[in-house]
Each structure stands twice: as structure tokens, then as C-alpha cells.
Chains A and B, each alone.
Chain A
């Protein structure tokens, strides 16, 4: 599978993602500069974490106007896969590829930690390698990760089963205590209606390398490969 990893000025998880796709998964992987317009060679586009354009104005607000994101809109419309991680999730909501918005964390601090999340759907190409309702541990690192949308949108997301990952305790209960940032409905990651576009605040690429201890995120990428 051809992976493309978008590089904005200020992206800083691009190489981490590259290491996973290229070294751990052994897939052809290309870094895509934000000014590029032709991404037709790529199967999966990943918008990595970081601080695209310094998070000036608002997280992800400027990145949406970059040439590569215009191309990504077409890529998504053609049913090809797009994954936004952390800042990448923020970019996807800013450009309307995914609903809702990511706001300042509940306690107003940046949080870097490992959290437990529940895989709500395993019928997506992104999650098929997980067990249904599996509780996994993934790293988070964000200041603006509080998922917010109006009541109707939230209801739509739930009704259409667009919530992919939900913060939960070790036994799978989406409790207030297990919610690190105040996200509505403990939402950690969502997909679009078609399921080809996914955004998530947790970092699966930081939980893929056995040398670093945790590999719960690797299954997400392995799901993709087996779906291809």
C-alpha cells in the first residue's frame, strides 16, 4: 500500500509516522510537501500530528487552505483513505471532511499520557484487526483535544456509528474520570459516513514499535493492509 505523509511547516510527527509505515510495516512511503498538488500515486494519506503553521489563528485552521489539502479533498471524495492524527484530526474537522471541532482541554493544560480507549467498530478497514469493543492503550499528546459538536451532530455521529474510538476505563466504561480532555461522549476518534476518512486524537504511531513497549496502535495500520 502506498502511504503518503503530509508535511506542513510545523508538522512534527511526520517522521514518526514514516518510521512506522516504512520500517515496521515495510510499505512504500512518501513524504508529501504541503505545496504538492498531485497525490494520485497514493492509497492512504496521513495528516500527522504537530503544529501545522504554528497553530496560528486556530489549530489546523491554516493547513486546510494548503494545496495538498485541496488534493486530499479529491482523494477522499474518490473514496480513498485519509487518516488525521492529533493535529491532523484538527485539520480534517477545520476543512469539513469530518464534523465537529477540537477545543482546549477541560483543564486548559497540554496533556501527554497513555490512555485507554475502546474500539467501537471493527467493521471498518481501519479497525478490522481489533476485537469488537477491545480496550486498548494509546498515547495522547495535545492541548486542544476536547471534541465538541452541537447536539444534533453528536446524535448523528452516534446513530450512524461514526464514533470509532472512545475514552474509557480499563473495563471499557466511558466514565468521566477516563475522559482526559472533556470530549463530548468521550469521543477520541471518528470517521465520516463512508468510513474512508478517520480522525483521532490518540497517536497510534507512537504505540507501534515493540522496542518502545506498547503496540496497541500497530493493529490499526495492519487492519489497513489486510483490507487492501
Chain B
């Protein structure tokens, strides 16, 4: 079954001679003039063409974090659950009962901007390889997506393509896509964000790591063949997108999920033989990155012969081999003498497997081609001793932020209990609520997740759209644990309110971590650990760096406060588009937080939909009539969507309150008191209540206090923040539940009302019986469920 490798062409040694490169040639590899000087200094000579290319990709932000490394250092990375922290292919946490979970998030933003289908598909493929390289079987995928406005035809094309790409790869490879988030904002028009997170359950006895060891051990190349696709993707990913970026389409890889599925099975089987010493997937910077990192981490060298690499096209030169990002490939260090055993496994799965080199003592990466040495670089110079840039932080917040902070809600048009005064006249709160429900960022993402197989593997306990986080049962397949014995679960979520981060990177980043933890708490899971994907603009610009630095400070503080250490992640900078005039348009700073939580017993969980008529509805968190900077319309979806304004200070997180509310929510779910839990996010109280109604197909009669002095009606209904969770409980447990709330959350809870039959509708009124919102179930359901499909019908 093994495909025939294409035969090699010959080569002349002059091609490998070092030479002084011109500024243009240096810039073409994404390197700065000073970096070239550093290369010459590290080598003690000029590089040759292939070597220059290797430095170009390895010294890109994507591979060496040269701008972000000093900031990432402040993240907490240790905790009682953490087995493997940052630095390996994925983080690993201990979930008890011998269960270990590998998880990681990664971006594929630039490829997806140019070629959305393959860009997104290979993003999924790449993150899955990070997981199974560790010896873990992938069990779930989530993704975090950002697009421009759906009114724009180009955005609709990108949106369609990205969703189809994720669907294609994830469905075929047989890993359920169980959750995620999608936001639409013009800030992402030219530069969509595609972040994919994967979870895997360890299947090998030992966690497989990437440091090479054992002099003379063979280097095994396995998986697919090498071609010219995806040349220099890492450098491409570390530059701004321009009108000419379409010409970089060859830098986008093409994925084959069928090969990846076979590769998963073959790799796990190979690891279980005990004959694999180390493994590294070939993602960004392909052979260059995998050889350099394996050598550097092991403190050894690697001697690799390109003539032995199976190729899919002829006439390739070393530069192309080394920078190819052909998908579905891995590099192993095998135990000497056991190569054949491993090769047989891969051949059985119809995959390539060849010995292509060996581990050597000298800590260099030596590349051979056509009988000559085509490249020879100290491994550390490629992957460890790399440039670091410390940028100066702005002395005070930039003007755009200060201007935004000057906003206050008294600038909004007047409003009363009957509605909001707009240019077209008075609009009722019911109407505003319906409009918000149809805002693409709030509306149901059913159109998206219906295209993802979210049930394969038979472990999806909570389906997408039904809860604040995904819940997947942990059921090892090898050695098998029967369905009846598998009672533990993992909850996972990806979150980021980028508008908050844009307005105040420090507070916004804290709110992102808090929301992720809250979402996990809403399904009953204990938040455990974080993987983060920092999507930012250029760090070389003062504002871009300020956003990055402030957000990292907020993330670090929040992860420390909530005891959710960071086990790894990804940095994607230069997310900017240069318009035709050459003006950079940065995205909103978007530090996506992927968080995993432990569920001791998958019976003790809950979704977001109201369950039973007569159940009592409560608000946990900041009461509705409290005036505090933790609850505000600043940065809210209401302000952005209804008033077309992005301004104000976003909600400020109070960690003590946040932890108390979340602990109460989790405890109440485990006690079986709480039958639904949903956090108040975009759209605030009114939208969270409406979503619980729609998901549960029940109505609700809710009573709210009158606004306190200085508080507006829209602040009462749509303000965001405040560590708020809406829960419903059985009526006969009201007394006990209230006693418990009073003990644990005195002053931070409120009784809201009663779950009703669907035909009674969704009603919010004041305590003196002024009706604020009165909508039929069909109205709110249809607005929320169909908004995205309707926006796409234009095509």
C-alpha cells in the first residue's frame, strides 16, 4: 500500500556555498538586517540559501516568540494538576483515576484569511497532531472564530469556507467538535481569526516528549510525503496581511484528514511498543523546526539526509524540503535496532516510514543532500538562542483608550420603562431584546455546529448549544474501560470578549479568564488549567505592544487568582491588514482562553435551558440594583449593536466575588439543587434569561427591582459583568437553597421569578408591575435561532 516515492534529482555542491545575502533576500525570509548580523555571528560565517531560510522560519514570532517571551514568563505554569507545562507539544494535566488529559490551542489565522477552507482544515490537523504526538488519543475539538460583519460578501465567503474546512477535517478524522465561540465585528474584516483547541486522553504509559536522546539512534520520518505546499508558512504567519497576500496562497498547506486518522492510529500503536524515544510533529517550519527542536531539547544533534525523505514531487532543493509545511508528517527518534518494527506499523496503515538520519553528539542540525552537506547549524541557534525583543511600554494608556474611558451612559439617548428613544421614535425593550437576540455574535451558532460531527466517539454528554461549556466523558479505549465504569468527564470552553480587551487590555483579559472559569462552573466542572492563544496586532508598534503587555498582565493575574495555570498555547502577532493606502488596520486584541475543568461524575452536571415549569429562577452574583464598576454598559453588546458605539470601561472583575459565586454554582449543581445554569455574558441579564427560555423551550416570569438612582433601564436589563449566573431550582427546594445562598453569598444573590409554560411567553416586569419585556416564545426563538442563516441567505 505504500506509495512510491518520486526519485531524486542530482545537485551541484556550489548551491550550498555560504554567501553574503542582499537586504532584499534577507527581508524576503522575514528577517531584519540586525537579525542577519546575529546569524553571521552565531555561525561564524555567512549562511547559505537553505540555512538562511531555516533561520527565517525559526526566528519568526510563530516559532520563537521573540516579542512575547518576556511577557509569557509571568504566567503561572504550575499547579497540583499540571504534569506537563509549556514547552512541549501540548500541556498535560492529571484528572485522577489514572486519567491524564493533553490539551492545547493553536491559531491558523493568516492561512484562513487567504484560503479559508484549507487554512481552517489544516489548523485542526495541526492541533490534533500536537495532542497525539504526546501519546494521547484526541477526544474533542473546540474552536474560537472571529470574522468581520456578515453584511460583507467577503466575510460570508470566509465564514462559509472556515466552517466547511473545520467540518471537513474534524468530521473525517473522527474527533467530535464539541464547542466553541464565533464573533462578528468589522475589526476582523481583513484578518479573521481561526483558533482550534484539542483535547486528548493519554493512551501511552509514559507521556511522549520531544527531546532527542541516545547517540546513534535512528531518526524516523513517518506519515505523508513532502512536497512544496505550505512553503514558509511560519514566516508568512508572522507578517501583516496585505492586498498582495493572495499571492501567498502557496504558503497555505493542504490537509488530508484521512491520512491523519491513519497517522493517529499508527502513532499510538507505535508509541505503545516502547520503541519510540521521542516524537515531534511537523507543523510550522516542517523538517527545520522538528529537527532543531528535538536536537536542542535533548542537548544533542541530528544528522538528516534529505535524499531519504519520501517526496511527492521531483526537483525539490534543500530550501524547499526544509521549509515545506506538507501536512500529516512526524519525526521520531527510535530505539536503535527496533526501526523495522515501527516501520511495519506505518506501512500497515498505508503510511510512509523511513529512517532518514540519526542522533549525533555534536549539538548541530546537519542536513545532507545529494551526497553533500546542505546545511549545518547549531541547534540552539535555531530554537533556543534566538532573538528577544523587549519593547518599551507606553508611559500612559494610548489616546484611543483614554477617549473611550471618558464615555459614560449619560451620553445615551433617554429611556424609560416603556423603551428607548431612538431617531425613529420610541422602541420598546421587547423590540430591543429581539434585535439583540438576532445580533450575529449573540444569536445561536446552530448553523455552525450542525456542520460539525459533535457526537462521534460516543462520549459527548452535553451537546453544543445546550450548555455554557462542552462536557465529554473520559472513557479510555486502550486498555478499554467500559461505558458503565467511565464516570468522569472533562468540561472545556474557549472564551474571549475582545471588545473588552480592546477597551482595557488588562481588565478585559481578566474578564476573559473569569468568564471561561464561570462557563465551566455553569456545567458543574472545577476549572483546572488554561491554554491561551494570543491574537494581537504588531508588537513593534507602541499601541500593539501596550495591548499585548497589559493583556498578559491581566491573564497572569487572573490565572493566578483562579488557580488555573497556563500549560501552553500559541502566539499570533501581526494580525493586521494593510489597506490599499498602506494604513495598518489591527484586529481587536484577542487573547483567547481555552480552559478545561474536571467533572467527578457526569451525572452531576447541568445545561443552560430551563427544565421544568414552576422551577424558581435566581441570580447569583452582583444584584441588579447595585451600582458598581463590575457591572456596566461599557464595552457591551447592547452599546455596540444597538448604539453602534464601542466605548467605556469594560466590567471589572472582583476575584473574591467571582470565586464565591462559581463555587456556589458548582456545589449546587452537585447537590442536585440547580437544574439549569447560564452565565450572563453579551447582552446581560435579559439575553441570558431569554437564552435559558429558548434552550429549555420554557417561558419565564421574572420580576426585577426598579433602577436605583443614577441607574438606567437599559443598564438594568443589558449591562454586562458582575460574575452573574442565572440558575433555576426545584420549587420545593426554595427554602433550603435560599438559606444556603444567604450563608455563602449574602448580598450577592436575588430571587428573580418562575419558569413558566412556553405559551405564557418571556416576561420581565418590575416589582410594581411595569412590563419591561413581554415576548412570545416563537418570537425570541426565531430571532435567536435563525439570525445567522438569514444573514447568509443573501448569497
Residues of A bordering B, CB below 8 Å: 9-10, 12-13, 15-16, 19-20, 22-24, 49-51, 53-56, 109-113, 139, 141, 143, 203, 205-206, 209, 211-213
**The 3 A-B residue pairs with the shortest CB-CB distance in the complex, in nearest-first order:** A12-B174, A54-B258, A23-B482
- Residues in A with CB closer than 8 Å to B454 are 112
Given A12-B261, A23-B482, A209-B458, 13 other A-B residues pairs in contact with their CB atoms under 8 A: A9-B258, A12-B456, A15-B477, A54-B257, A109-B451, A110-B167, A112-B451, A112-B452, A139-B455, A141-B456, A205-B458, A211-B473, A212-B461
Contact partner of A212 among B164, B172, B458, B482, CB < 8 A? B458
Distance from B781 Cβ to chain A, minimum over Cβ atoms (Å): 16
A141 near B457 with CB under 8 A, answer no
Distance from A213 Cβ to chain B, minimum over Cβ atoms (Å): 8
- Residues in B with CB closer than 8 Å to A9 are 258, 261-262, 349-350
B450 near A10 with CB under 8 A, answer no
Q: Which residue of B lies closest to A14 (CB)?
A: B174
- Residues in B with CB closer than 8 Å to A111 are 450-451
Mask, B443-468, CB within 8 Å of A = 1, is: 00000011111111111110000000
Cα of A16 to Cα of B262 in the assembled complex, Å: 17
Q: Contacts A15-B457, A110-B453, A206-B458 given: A50-B483 contact, CB under 8 Å?
A: no
B456 near A211 with CB under 8 A, answer no
Tell me which residues from 73 to 123 in chain B have a Cβ below 8 Å from any Cβ of chain A: none
Q: Which residue of A lies closest to B457 (CB)?
A: A16
Q: Contacts A9-B261, A10-B261, A10-B262 given: A24-B483 contact, CB under 8 Å?
A: yes
Distance from B637 Cβ to chain A, minimum over Cβ atoms (Å): 27
Total interface residues in chain B, CB < 8 Å: 38
A16 near B450 with CB under 8 A, answer no
- Residues in B with CB closer than 8 Å to A50 are 174
B450 near A113 with CB under 8 A, answer yes
- Residues in A with CB closer than 8 Å to B486 are 211
Distance from A23 Cβ to chain B, minimum over Cβ atoms (Å): 4
A112 near B450 with CB under 8 A, answer yes
Q: Contacts A24-B483, A56-B258 given: A13-B456 contact, CB under 8 Å?
A: yes
B455 near A206 with CB under 8 A, answer yes
- Residues in A with CB closer than 8 Å to B602 are 211
Cα of A20 to Cα of B349 in the assembled complex, Å: 25
- Residues in B with CB closer than 8 Å to A53 are 258
A141 near B455 with CB under 8 A, answer yes
Residues of B bordering A, CB below 8 Å: 164, 167-168, 171-174, 256-259, 261-262, 349-350, 449-461, 473, 475, 477, 480, 482-484, 486, 602-603
Cα of A193 to Cα of B377 in the assembled complex, Å: 69
B456 near A10 with CB under 8 A, answer no
Contact partner of A16 among B171, B449, B456, CB < 8 A? B456
- Residues in A with CB closer than 8 Å to B450 are 109, 111-113
Distance from A97 Cβ to chain B, minimum over Cβ atoms (Å): 24
Distance from A118 Cβ to chain B, minimum over Cβ atoms (Å): 22
- A-B contacts, 15 of them at CB < 8 A, read A9-B262, A10-B172, A10-B261, A12-B456, A24-B483, A54-B172, A56-B258, A112-B451, A143-B171, A209-B458, A211-B483, A211-B603, A212-B458, A212-B461, A213-B461
Cα of A54 to Cα of B262 in the assembled complex, Å: 10
- Residues in A with CB closer than 8 Å to B451 are 109-112
Cα of A141 to Cα of B171 in the assembled complex, Å: 9
- Residues in A with CB closer than 8 Å to B171 are 51, 110, 112, 141, 143
Q: Which residue of B lies closest to A56 (CB)?
A: B258
A23 near B456 with CB under 8 A, answer no
Cα of A57 to Cα of B767 in the assembled complex, Å: 65
- Residues in A with CB closer than 8 Å to B173 are 12
Contact partner of B455 among A10, A24, A143, A203, CB < 8 A? A203
B484 near A23 with CB under 8 A, answer yes
Chain A at the B interface: SS class: mixed
Q: Contacts A12-B173, A209-B458, A212-B458 given: A51-B453 contact, CB under 8 Å?
A: no
- Residues in B with CB closer than 8 Å to A49 are 456
Q: Which residue of B lies closest to A203 (CB)?
A: B455
Q: Which residue of A lies closest to B170 (CB)?
A: A110
- Residues in A with CB closer than 8 Å to B174 are 12-13, 50-51
Cα of A23 to Cα of B256 in the assembled complex, Å: 33
Q: Contacts A12-B261, A23-B482, A51-B172 given: A112-B473 contact, CB under 8 Å?
A: no
A54 near B256 with CB under 8 A, answer yes
Which of A9, A143, A206, A213 is packed against the most chain B CB atoms within 10 Å? A9
Cα of A20 to Cα of B457 in the assembled complex, Å: 11
Distance from A19 Cβ to chain B, minimum over Cβ atoms (Å): 5
Distance from A117 Cβ to chain B, minimum over Cβ atoms (Å): 16
Cα of A43 to Cα of B588 in the assembled complex, Å: 60
- Residues in B with CB closer than 8 Å to A10 are 172, 258, 261-262
Distance from B210 Cβ to chain A, minimum over Cβ atoms (Å): 27
Q: Which residue of A lies closest to B163 (CB)?
A: A109
Distance from B478 Cβ to chain A, minimum over Cβ atoms (Å): 9
A212 near B261 with CB under 8 A, answer no
Cα of A56 to Cα of B350 in the assembled complex, Å: 14
Which of B451, B480, B483 is packed against the most chain A CB atoms within 10 Å? B483
Q: Which residue of B lies closest to A50 (CB)?
A: B174
- Residues in B with CB closer than 8 Å to A203 are 455
Q: Contacts A51-B261, A55-B172, A211-B461 given: A112-B483 contact, CB under 8 Å?
A: no
B483 near A23 with CB under 8 A, answer yes
Distance from B371 Cβ to chain A, minimum over Cβ atoms (Å): 36
Which of B168, B173, B258, B262 is packed against the most chain A CB atoms within 10 Å? B258
Distance from A47 Cβ to chain B, minimum over Cβ atoms (Å): 15
Cα of A49 to Cα of B461 in the assembled complex, Å: 20
- Residues in A with CB closer than 8 Å to B603 are 211
- Residues in A with CB closer than 8 Å to B168 are 110
Distance from A43 Cβ to chain B, minimum over Cβ atoms (Å): 22
- Residues in B with CB closer than 8 Å to A16 are 456-458
Cα of A177 to Cα of B655 in the assembled complex, Å: 48
Cα of A211 to Cα of B489 in the assembled complex, Å: 11
Q: Which residue of A lies closest to B261 (CB)?
A: A10
Cα of A24 to Cα of B484 in the assembled complex, Å: 8
Distance from A2 Cβ to chain B, minimum over Cβ atoms (Å): 18
Distance from B430 Cβ to chain A, minimum over Cβ atoms (Å): 28
Cα of A131 to Cα of B475 in the assembled complex, Å: 33
- Residues in A with CB closer than 8 Å to B452 are 110, 112
Cα of A56 to Cα of B777 in the assembled complex, Å: 45
B455 near A112 with CB under 8 A, answer yes
Q: Which residue of A lies closest to B475 (CB)?
A: A19
Cα of A23 to Cα of B457 in the assembled complex, Å: 14
Q: Which residue of A lies closest to B484 (CB)?
A: A23
- Residues in B with CB closer than 8 Å to A143 are 171
Cα of A49 to Cα of B460 in the assembled complex, Å: 17
- Residues in B with CB closer than 8 Å to A12 are 172-174, 261, 456
A19 near B458 with CB under 8 A, answer yes
- Residues in A with CB closer than 8 Å to B258 are 9-10, 51, 53-56
